[in-house]
Chain A
Amino acid sequence: MEPVALRAQARDVGLELIDARHLVPEVLHLVRDRHEMPVQVVHVIHPFRELASGGDSVRRSSPGAANVCYPRPVTPSEETIAVGPTRIQVLIGGEGDPLLVLHGAGGNRGWLRWMAKVAERHTIYAPTHPGFGGSDSADWMEGIDDLARFYLWFLDVMKLDRVDLLGHSIGGWTAAEMATMCPRAIDRLILVAPTGLKPERGEILDIFFYPPDELFRHTVLDPASIPERETLFGRPPTPEEAEIALRNRETTARLTWKPYMFNPRLPHFLPRVTAPTLVIWGREDGIVPVECGEQYRRLLPHARLEVLERCGHLPLIERPDEFAALVSGFLERRTA
């Protein structure tokens, strides 16, 4: 939605629009604190850009407007949410039951094409993990199980009792851990090329051992076929984006170094998961071998595995339309 239109809409419901592009996350947090819950500080961000880039914000104009029901714009909003002392950035957009989306090692890539489609029927919450992007650091974390506990806490903070949960790569591993820790919090579970299990025959590629260009070749099967290639990879990163990419890699190393990308205890807990689960994999995944998809399918009590042919480690952007259809179909079967 254009800022002008949003500004008008905001006025209709007693909100005042402020330009928050110059505000650092700390200041936004103060703005939020000053207005107390449930005030939302909303950045309208440019799709596909890092969340730290900022945008226009909405804030409540007077205490008298406390009962305003805030519209969820079609364009996602960005909120800064404090989970304990750790503030993270969260993209929120769409209409319908909540779907929590946990990103992979590459970080939060913004409001992606597949999300726009799924958001027609679901409210997507896409947080940026601590230590990634513009979210606070949490250097005390040691592993993905810590991140899983963090997101269960996040659900409490957001007052989301039960959600659908989708995670990609290390976000998928996080989602699987969450589902073993608190099965009742998860309605339907979607794991996209998750790490977390030790392959029985192959190996998970050591992503820290290769230069970025070589790693990219292992990650994506055919960059030319990616519909969003221009917005995602069409130009060299700015210094700020390069810094964020480095920070993302450091946090990934912090959480996954040893044992590398798996939890030897996870297979023993997966049978606890009650959620119907869809496991999605690219046949040509050069990072996490597709055999891990078979392992997840076997260990999870209610899982189905969908393997996309001619697809690498990023089905979400390599095959966004097919991916969105799979996700929507799986989530909507519940209501059908």
Chain B
Amino acid sequence: MKLYYFSEMPHHEYPDAEGDRYPSLRLAFPNTFFSPEIARRNYQRYLDEYEAADQAGFDGLMVNEHHSTPSCVNVSANMTAGILARTTRNAKLLILGNILPIQDNPVQMAEQIAMADLISGGRVLSGFVRGVGVESWWANSNPVHNRERFEECHDLILKCWTTPGPFRWEGRHYHFRHVNPWCLPLQKPHPPIWVPGTASPETAVWAGRMGYTYVPFLVSFEVARELFDFYRQGAAEAGRTVTPDKLGFLICAVTADTRARALEAGRHFVWRMGPTLRGPAEYFAPVGMRSRAASRFALRARGAPLSKMSYEELVDNYYIVADTPDAVAERFARVHRELGIGHLLLEAQESRMDHATTMRSIELMGKSVIPAMAAL
């Protein structure tokens, strides 16, 4: 099983009481609390940590992108991938992912991913996501068109990568009369495509049909299994066999020299389970964004929301793993047994977890956890 290092690049350097005064940390919390000086230091620090993860032997470095939120100030997954393409050597660069429906220029997206793939020597894993509603607000992209735009944007990117130009594209949402990108990926026919999921059965079925690697984020084993079943259903429709290499899972994880220190560090993940997800439903799932099937699935499958779980419950239920390296390896092995996955994505830094703690965790993972997982 392969391990991936991931940080959301948070900007949690403000008084929490200030954030609590607004309906949500996303969209509503004023950016007057954003500090360019702090962010300048943070970006350097977060990139250093990614580079350390590469040197420690992580199989992949995952980057993502959000907007209008202190929970993630990585505002361009492709820009970060471009930097890491140059400053790291071995790890795959998992962009998970580009938010396709809010893109107005899929051709430029195809070029940017291709450029990162070229600079990295073919290490890009290209994730495509529909995004949470917040990003639709940020881009002022009609949520009613979210799924249609996701699929059309995907189709055009794939065509850019696989069909010689020039060609014309006139779809429902995207119109380009002269497509001929002079930047194509190194990997052929194109970088592997990954798709995350939290609630949408359609996305799981679609990913299965397309043969893409599918990764549920922060859900229970039970929900993950159900989503994998949808994935397998799609794969079967297309006559594909599902191997562990096509299945991943994302959890939060940190390790330390003692269990007590690890548990203390792990508390920083609670911020992303509650406060950063607080807000009106309209922010996260604006009208039209979610299909009826996804809404029903979300209602049925969720159980207690992450925000209502105690730290202990989050740890007990594998949303957070925080322990000594040996114990962490045991828990990862359990995840592997439960879900039959080939990729475990670790959100490995959060909130106010400091640089020293993060670096020590990376180092310890590299020394004993990653080798143990490689054997699975």
Binding site for B on A (CB under 8 A): 208-211, 246, 249-250, 253-254, 257-258
- Contact among A209, A210, A246, A254 for B142, CB-based, below 8 A: A254
B189 interfacial contact with A, CB 8 Å: no
Q: Residue B238 at the A interface, CB < 8 A? A: no
> A207 to nearest B CB, angstroms?
9
* Extra 4 A-B pairs, beta carbons < 8 Å, given A209-B282, A253-B286: A211-B280, A254-B142, A254-B288, A257-B142
A250-B288 contact in complex given A257-B144, A258-B140, A258-B142, C-beta closer than 8 Å: yes
Contact check, A253 vs B142: say whether CB atoms are below 8 A apart: yes
Least Cβ distance of A255 to chain B in Å?
Answer: 9
Q: How far is the CA of A208 from the CA of B281 in the complex (A)?
A: 11
- B201 beta carbon closer than 8 Å to chain A: no
The minimal Cβ–Cβ distance linking B38 to chain A, given in whole angstroms, is: 29
Check B281 against A249 for contact (C-beta < 8 Å).
no
Q: Beta-carbon contacts of B273-291 to A below 8 Å, as 1s and 0s? A: 0000000111100111000
What are 12 A-B pairs at a CB distance below 8 A?
A209-B137, A209-B280, A209-B283, A210-B282, A211-B281, A246-B287, A249-B288, A250-B288, A253-B144, A253-B287, A254-B142, A258-B140
Closest A residue by C-beta to B143: A253
B116-169 residues at the A interface, CB under 8 angstroms: 137, 140, 142-144
Is chain A's binding surface mostly helix, strand, loop or mixed? loop
Residue of B nearest to A252 (CB): B287
Q: Which residues of A contact B137 (CB under 8 A)?
A: 209
Chain A, Cβ-Cβ closest to B286: A208
Interface residues of B (CB under 8 A from A): 137, 140, 142-144, 280-283, 286-288
Question: Chain B: which residue is nearest A250 at the CB level?
Answer: B288
Contact A250 B280 (CB under 8 A): no
User: CA–CA, A254 to B146, complex, Å?
Assistant: 11
B282 and A208 contacting across the interface, CB-CB below 8 Å: yes
Q: A261 to B50, alpha carbons, bound, how many Å?
A: 45
Shortest CB distance B167–A (Å) = 25
Q: What are the 9 A-B residue pairs with the smallest beta carbon separation, nearest first? A: A257-B142, A250-B288, A249-B287, A254-B144, A253-B144, A253-B287, A211-B280, A253-B288, A250-B287
Complex Cα spacing A210 to B143, Å: 15
- Distance in angstroms from B78 CB to nearest chain A CB is 25
Known: A253-B143, A253-B144. A210 touches B280 (CB 8 A): yes
Give the residues in chain B near A209, CB-CB below 8 Å. 137, 280, 282-283, 286
Question: How close is B169's CB to chain A, nearest CB, in angstroms?
Answer: 19
Question: What is the CA–CA distance of A247 and B143 in the complex, to the nearest angstrom?
Answer: 13
Count chain A CB atoms within 10 A of each CB in B137, B142, B143, B281 and give the residue with the most: B142
CB distance from B293 to the nearest CB of A (A): 14
Residues of A within 8 A of B144 (CB): 250, 253-254, 257
Closest chain B residue to A246, Cβ basis? B287
CB-CB under 8 A from A210, the residues of chain B are 280, 282
A248 to B, closest residue via Cβ: B287
Q: How far is the CA of A258 from the CA of B144 in the complex (A)?
A: 12
A-chain residues with CB within 8 Å of residue B140 when the two chains form the complex: 257-258
Q: In the complex, what distance in Å separates the CA atom of A66 from the CA atom of B282?
A: 53
Q: Within the complex, what minimum Cβ distance (angstroms) separates B312 from chain A?
A: 31
What residue of chain B has the Cβ atom nearest to residue A214's Cβ?
A: B280
Whole-angstrom CA separation of A250 from B281 in the bound complex: 15
Chain B residues whose C-beta falls within 8 Å of the C-beta of A211 in the assembled complex:
280-282
CB-based nearest B residue for A243: B292
Residues of B within 8 A of A250 (CB): 144, 287-288
Least Cβ–Cβ distance between B26 and chain A, in angstroms: 12
- A161 CB, min distance to chain B CBs, angstroms: 35
B148 to chain A, nearest CB (A): 9
A254–B143 alpha-carbon span in the complex (Å): 9
On chain A, the residues within 8 Å of B283 by CB distance are 209
- Give Cα distance in the complex from A213 to B280, angstroms: 12
Q: When A250-B144, A254-B144, A258-B140 are in contact, do A208 and B280 touch as well, CB less than 8 Å?
A: no
User: CA separation between A119 and B282, bound complex, in Å?
Assistant: 39
Nearest residue, chain B, Cβ from A258: B140
A253 CA / B140 CA spacing, docked (Å)? 12
Cα-based distance from A209 to B284 in the complex (angstroms): 10
Q: How far, in angstroms, from A246 to B280 measured CA to CA in the complex?
A: 16
For residue A140, which residue of chain B has the nearest CB?
B172
Most buried by B among A210, A250, A257: A257
CA distance A168 to B288 in the complex (A): 23
Shortest CB–CB separation between residue A104 and chain B, in angstroms? 16
User: What residues of B have a CB within 8 angstroms of the CB of A249 in the complex?
Assistant: 287-288
Closest chain B residue to A211 by CB distance? Answer: B280
In angstroms, how far is the closest chain A Cβ from the Cβ of B172? Answer: 9
A210: nearest chain-B partner, CB-CB: B282
Interface centre among B137, B282, B286 (most CB of A within 10 A): B282
Write the nearest CB–CB distance from A31 to chain B, whole angstroms.
29
Min distance, Cβ B234 to any Cβ of chain A, angstroms: 24
Residues of A within 8 A of B143 (CB): 253
Q: Using Cβ atoms and an 8 Å threshold, which residues of chain A touch B281? A: 211
In Å, the complex CA distance between A211 and B137 comes to 15
Q: Within the assembled complex, what's the spacing in Å between the Cα atoms of A308 and B143? A: 35
Min C-beta distance of A121 to chain B, whole Å: 38
* A217 CB, nearest partner CB in chain B, Å: 14
Residue of A nearest to B281 (CB): A211
Q: With A and B bound together, what is the CA distance between A257 and B146 in angstroms?
A: 13
Q: Give bound CA distance, A211 to B280, whole Å.
A: 7
